[in-house]
Chain A
Amino acid sequence: MTHRNDRTLKVGALARVEGEGAMYVRARGRAVEEVRLDIYEPPRFFEAFLRGRAYTEPPDITARICGICPIAYQMSACQAIEAACGVKVGGTLSELRRLLYCGEWIESHALHVYLLHAPDFLGYPGAVELARDHRAVVERGLRLKKAGNTLLEVLGGRAIHPVNVRVGGFHRTPARTELAPLAELLRQARDDALATVEWAAEFEFPDFAHDHEYLALSTGRYPLESGVLRSSAGRAFSAAEFERNIVEEQVPHSTALHARFTDGGPYLTGPLARYSLNRDRLSPLALEAADRAGLGIECRNPFRSILVRAVEIVYAVDEALRIITAYEPPPRPAVPVPPREGTGHGVTEAPRGVLYHRYGFGPDGLIRAARIVPPTSQNQAAIEDDLRRFIAAHLHLDDHALTHQCEQAIRNYDPCISCSTHFLDLTVERS
């Protein structure tokens, strides 16, 4: 029931996000009483039907959780299964996995930067409308996205749900001559990526900062396919310790579970966390681009995440070029992974953040239990918290403007709702 003075804002469904959700906001006077990110994406029950499947199957099956970041699912699954089987995949095979992941970062980040996020800053409903006035810009974005997809197609067989990944490595590793033409494409992509950083640096960013604890993988390199988890508050734990440090809770309004640290608060994972915790691991070119764009030693303004994504594209292109240049085909496409009874954990950096998988296997190599914690459910509480504070500071705006800015605030996170159910009507009630 709304009071006579209540204001109610509604948006049919949130646009330019992956998946389906809604937002509900209730304000009384100058106080924001309730903010809910409602995820109504239908549940698809992957964790339930993985039971009884063979230990070789999760890379193909869990890829289907998300069409935008299937590699993330394949990589976290492989890592968890190999850990359970006591096998370590290193050397060139591990570099090829990193290369494949670079393709996904380029494709996914370019999609978000150009097609989903930039229209907010430039006042267009979408990239097609943006292209009418700025065709060359959109063409640059599509070219960049295509470079990432081409890398996925050459190494993975196709861009969406690639077929070439298997437990232990690949079904077939490429010849040098197959990867060489990618170098040319990636050199063009490097110019496009640098131009993207410069272009996005000119956008007007709302003055907003949050203080969420950041969580990202950490290794000797900028984190992608492996590492230990570290947070801005000094936590450090391995994939195997994930569930001792993080709990997921169900909330009535969402088919996505909410994650928080066991000892309390919400946290944030994704580009802002990765950049702020690993900036010094960027390639010299990416670091230089970050400095020129005015990104400091950390980034706490979610609206500037578009800049961090652009910098990460520069990094992923650089890293892909490095791997291709050094590539010598390995003696075999995969290392043998015999099944074994036990439990394995895997964590990698999906474009949107930390993605955790755990599998328990019986002696027959069949899955007894599975658990998957995608980035969007980890970020959901932090997104709601941002919205609460953003709305409180902008209640003077009319309903239309406030609604639009809330949607923008949500898109900052590139929430992947298909992943997290495993996005958005907006309702704002004011009194």
Chain B
Amino acid sequence: MGRPTLAVWKFASCDGCQLTLLDCEDELLTLTGRIKIAYFLEATAAAGDGPYDVSLVEGSITTPTDLDRIQHVRAVSGKLITIGACATAGGIQALRDFADVEEFTSVVYARPEYIATLARSTPISAHVPVDFELRGCPIDRRQLVEVLAAHLTGRTPDVPGHSVCFECKSRGSVCVMVARGTPCLGPITHAGCGAICPAYGRGCYGCFGPSPAWSGTRPNTRGLLPWLDMTEDETHRVLSTFNVSAFREEQRPEGAGDDAPQ
């Protein structure tokens, strides 16, 4: 048995999540001793042919070409793991979903007709089956190593689904919302970052997306909102940034009509 092979793919994104793999400075050479990097354009010009045991996919689907490319990635991948808010929730570029993309194009480009883009920015799971979704904008390095290590040993990754508040308490930070009245999305945001923002004196801005609630699947977003003491516009903006699609989904009443991406 040779080493398992790893491929890293990029769709619409900032490169930050795949960079997280290179940012594992202490683990990188150990990791590459255990896993063979067979395709990772940002890191190597050597591109082995698939299939690959594991694929890490960064970025969201925003162009007609990428609709086809993600099918190819799925076909050549054993396990497909999405990394980051773009790949798991459409990312910040999903702000187009709630606007007129043609108007957006005309704001940025003098000749919009040269630009081929889809009206929506969709997560990978909207198009192909995904084996594991790692959240975050950006993902957390420790969680990435955990997910890869879990795959190597054939166990389930230990990536908790509780909220940022849990991490904040275990870190021993003072609650910025209770002590200072600073609006904080910690109670409804998925853990994983290590509760950095409260430790730096600011409220969580939700870059890991909505947490699953205690017993169900939805965080009590509507329950939190009155606590935030923000205007409706401010609340709307804070929930409409790095995981806009995921938070919008959580805000919808149960049983609301489905407008899932095509």
Contact = CB atoms under 8 A, between A and B. Distances in A.
B45 A47 contact: no
Contact of A42 (B12, B16, B95, B199): B12
A146 B99 CA distance: 40
A379 B109 CA distance: 18
A146 B14 CA distance: 20
Nearest to B47: A12
Contact of B96 (A47, A49, A64): A49
A160 B14 CA distance: 10
B193 interface: yes
Interface stretch (A96-104, A136-144, A353-361, A391-399): A136-144
Listed residue (A67, A142, A171, A252) with the most chain B CB atoms within 10 angstroms of its CB: A67
A112 B256 CA distance: 48
Interface string A50-62: 0101100100110
Contact of B19 (A17, A68, A250, A333): A68
Contact of B115 (A13, A255, A418): A255
B143 interface: no
Nearest to A57: B237
Interface stretch (A127-135, A282-290, A295-303): A127-135
A343 B12 CA distance: 30
B28 interface: yes
B17 A67 contact: yes
A250 B114 contact: yes
A160 B242 CA distance: 14
A20 interface: yes
Interface residues of A, number: 67
Contact of A15 (B41, B111, B234): B41
Given A43-B105, A45-B96, A142-B25, A157 B15 contact: no
B117 interface: yes
A45 B102 CA distance: 11
Contacts of A422: 108
Given A65-B14, A131-B29, A160-B23, A16 B205 contact: no
B63 A115 contact: no
**Interface size, B (range):** 35 or more
A179 interface: no
A14 interface: yes
Interface string A4-29: 00000000111111111000000000
Interface of B: 10-20, 22-23, 25-26, 28-29, 32, 37, 40-47, 62-63, 65-66, 91-93, 95-96, 99, 101, 103-105, 107-111, 114-115, 117, 137-138, 193, 196-197, 199-202, 205, 207, 234, 237, 241-242
6 contacts: A42-B117, A44-B92, A45-B108, A49-B104, A125-B44, A131-B32
Interface of A: 12-20, 40-45, 47-49, 51, 53-54, 57, 60-61, 64-68, 70, 111, 115-116, 119, 125-129, 131, 135, 138-139, 142-143, 145-146, 149, 157-161, 163-164, 166, 171-172, 249-250, 252, 255, 257, 333, 407, 418, 422
